[in-house]
A and B are shown apart, each in its own frame.
Chain A
Amino acid sequence: MSFSFTAEQEELRQLVRRFCEEKSSSEHVRRLMDSDDNRDDKIWSQMADQLGLQGLSIPEAYGGSGFGPVELGIVLEEMGRTLLVAPYFSTVAIAGQTLALSDDEAAKQRWLPGIADGSLTATLAIAEESGSWELDSVETTAAQAGDEWSLTGTKMYVLDGATADLLLVVARAGDELGLFAVDGAAAGVTRSKLDSVDLTRDLGRVELDGVSAVRIGSGDATEMLVKATDLILAAFAAEQIGGAAKCLEMAVDYAKIREQFGRPIGSFQAIKHKCADMLLEVESGKSASYYASSVVAAGDHESSIAAALAKAYCSTAFTHAAKENIQIHGGIGFTWEHDAHLYLKRAKSSELLFGSPARHRERLADLVGI
């Protein structure tokens, strides 16, 4: 078990950090938050053309640079720090990784190069009205007529679901669970943005009424989707611990300058102890996230344990850090002008999407045989 990053990986982190700090300033996040856009086109192109971030974890054969979950985790940790508003998580961490896992060569050739060069956005739709990401709760159906498939059902809480060019949809095909590709603009697709608390990330509702779809891969997709879920969870944990680390930094920076009773509030034990506890969780969360990123590519039992663990722990750590950040900022932290609420909202929504900490602890208990 090794946790050290190579010099190249450290360079990648610095590069992405500088980029995100410059391009995803508070002002910028707020501008996108108040508009209908879930990205800035110019920044999205720069990410693809100058930094190659969209293609980072996509195999070279499909136009990417062939790195793995560790590099993707580094990028997401940095994006999470600045709340970057972009369909990166949905397109690259979710859809890109899922597609790359499939054994469907035609599908990969058709869509992965577009994801890699930034010309195509995509997402994956699993959850439905029940709000569960459990594969056995999927009720959307896929009907076959000749070579054609058509999907019927309603998907909920789909990340960037209202705007993604390509929708990967999990649906029941008879006894099997299948993964299907649907053109976001296809006839019979009705989609809308859900009004939800995190203004920095879009959640969509997608109604499918006999929509024409392409099946990806053959046979039951459950095993592939479980592997994909592990990859997604590890990536999500990385993004969350990046946000948590930023909350700690904000709180500490403020505690050093804000004075009460004639001295910086950071000199009071009550504040020191909160910060020390946050550090404990941030550092432990990093360890959990780095470990998960390093093992999920294997797609084995250990991957599922590490991914569930990282999601459960990093979600909890992020929400805790975001709440403490507001508390330490006092009244100012409760205002709309201050960014602290943006982090709390991102943290809470990340905590409940793709399964709550309690749900992942339950999965972990199953996986380790408790």
Chain B
Amino acid sequence: MTVQQTNIPSEIESDDDFRARLRTFFTDHHPGKPPRDPKERLAHQKAWNATMFDAGFSGPSWPKEFGGMELSFAHQVIYQEELARARVPGPMGTGLGIAAPTIIRYGTQAQKEEFLAPMLRGDKIWCQGYSEPGAGSDLPSLRTTARREGDEYVVNGQKVWTTQATNADVLFTLVRTGTQESRQKGITYLLIDAHAPGVEVRPLRDITGGAGFAEVFFDDVHVPVSHRIGEENEGWPLVRTSLGHERAAGAMNQAAVYRRVLDELTALARERGRASEPLIRDQLADFEIRVRIMRYNAARIISDILTKGEPGAASSVSRMLITAFEQDLHEFAIGLLGPAGLLTKDSPHAVQRARWLTGFLRTRASTIGAGTSEIQRNTVAEQVLKLPHDPGMPPR
């Protein structure tokens, strides 16, 4: 497909010009509120992604060659700020955040051309297939196998907790090509067509009552070898690749989002006449402190990158800060609402479509998904504080 970049100027533009250009675009093309129906909502998000992509406003850190903006870090920050300010969804998804950086770094030219732009445009939905029923935090124990047959792999096994798998077109997976004992030395990174014969997706109802993720079964699924990223048995090191700087710039966006959520909660407390109660005020003030610190941390990470070239220790703790914050915030909110906070979105008496109850349930996953908070703390302790490795855990 041809990548059109109608809005990218050939000259380097000033911060102010760039900001103004973004602001105009987001104002002129604002997608409006997403529909409630899941199918319509997906179509809405896809259309918005395509609009951004076609105008050259997608993939802030991506190479221009694949439809990205190839921005300086300072401009990435401005991009995230304006995105939050405009209240439009960003062009991020599981694939964009995790698979794309891997393909950009390790993929062949043919793979980059085939996969990147359609992913960024939203034409293809990508899903992560790492976790298995027996391999969550201990990912290297995974059991889904891929057997080489000529120029194809034949895949058998099961993945689980696959977010949005019911909508997926492509699954980026880790599969075992070596022996079970080889652990991370026998793992291969494979892109699997979600519509290929032998792939079965079963929605998994979650704690919220919705089906945000699914189980995926592979029964003799044929995958071309050309859809393997990196070498056979050498997929493991690819897992940790990420767009570090884009993520750092995104921290500012996240801080802005939680700022808004807290303002809405404070307004709710006031409306219900609870904001003047000392304990409620103390808790709201504590959230206020944490949400401001989120912004200060983000600013500090950004300053560090701009002056020293890399983020400091503050970047390693921001996820821990955010996950605890969103859990505490939602739990506090349903406490504030009392029994009304228990009403589900189906009840006509629910407050604000039960968003706080849903949030309370949904954020249970915040300290589980993408590495549990326990694993996260281990990693921080070992990598940042250099504490000794736990001999009970496999070597890195």
| Interface residue ranges, A against B (CB under 8 Å) | 1-4, 248, 252, 255-256, 263-264, 266-269, 271-273, 275-277, 279-280, 283-284, 286-288, 290-291, 305, 309, 312-313, 358, 361-362, 364-365, 368, 370
B388 within 8 Å of A (CB atoms): yes
**Quick check: which of B106-114, B203-211, B299-307 contacts chain A, the rest being far away?**
B299-307
Residues of B with Cβ closer than 8 Å to A? 266, 269-270, 275, 278, 281-282, 284-286, 288-289, 292-293, 295-297, 299-300, 303-304, 306-308, 313-314, 316-317, 320-321, 374, 376-378, 380-382, 384-391
Report the minimum CB–CB distance from A167 to chain B (whole Å).
33
Chain A minimum-CB-distance residue to B305: A4
Shortest Cβ gap from B396 to chain A (Å)? 13
**Are B385 and A283 touching (Cβ within 8 A)?**
no
Residues of A within 8 Å of B278, CB to CB, are 362
Chain B residue, CB-CB nearest to A267: B388
Asked whether A280 and B320 contact (CB < 8 A) given A272-B377, A275-B387, the answer is yes
A279 touches B380 (CB 8 A): yes
* Cβ of A301 to closest chain B Cβ, rounded Å: 14
In the bound complex, do residue B284 and residue A365 qualify as a contact, i.e. CB atoms below 8 Å apart? Answer: yes
Q: What 10 A-B pairs come out closest when comparing CB atoms?
A: A272-B381, A361-B285, A276-B377, A287-B296, A266-B387, A4-B303, A3-B300, A3-B303, A4-B307, A280-B317
Chain A residues with CB under 8 A of B308: 4
The CA of A161 and the CA of B367, in the complex, are separated in Å by: 49
- Say yes or no: B387 contacts A4, CB within 8 Å: no
Q: Is the interface of B mostly helix, strand, loop or mixed?
A: helix
Report A-chain residues with C-beta under 8 Å of the C-beta of B292: 288, 305, 309
A149 to B168 Cα, complex, angstroms: 81
Partner of A266, one of B286, B293, B388: B388
19 further A-B contacts with Cβ under 8 Å, apart from A3-B304, A269-B377, are A1-B299, A4-B304, A252-B387, A264-B388, A267-B387, A272-B377, A276-B381, A279-B313, A279-B316, A279-B317, A280-B320, A284-B314, A288-B292, A309-B289, A362-B281, A365-B284, A370-B270, A370-B275, A370-B284
Tell me, rounded to whole Å, the shortest Cβ–Cβ distance linking A367 to chain B. 9
Residue of A nearest to B317 (CB): A280
Considering the complex, give the chain B residue whose CB is closest to the CB of A287.
B296
CA gap between A268 and B390 in the complex, in Å:
6
In the assembled complex, the Cα of A267 lies from the Cα of B381 at a distance in Å of 9
Chain B residues near A276 (CB, 8 Å)? 317, 320, 376-378, 380-381, 385
